[in-house]
């Protein structure tokens, strides 16, 4: 996981989005109001959702 500022995200969105998809990186976007968010590929998100669903069925 890589932490970046929201300003960096805005400045370098395309590069960061490509890294999230191509290199499977997860980014924590640090915001001034301390309401941080996470950016990851849709594939990574879907994999987490699938694991949570399967874990709940046991």
Task: Go through the domains of the chain in sequence order and give each one's CATH number.
Answer: 2-56 (3.40.1620.10)
Q: Does the pLDDT value for residue 58 go beyond 80?
A: no
Q: Does the pLDDT value for residue 53 go beyond 90?
A: yes
| Residue 36 and residue 55 in contact, taking contact as beta carbons nearer than 8 Å | no
Q: Does the pLDDT value for residue 37 go beyond 80?
A: yes
pLDDT of residue 57: 81
pTM of the model: 0.85
């Amino acid at each position: 996981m890589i932490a970046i500022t929201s300003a960096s995200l805005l400045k370098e969105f395309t590069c960061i989005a490509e890294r999230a998809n191509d290199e499977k990186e997860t980014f924590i976007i640090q915001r001034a109001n301390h309401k941080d968010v996470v950016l990851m590929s849709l594939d990574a998100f879907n994999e987490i959702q699938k694991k949570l669903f399967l874990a709940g069925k046991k």
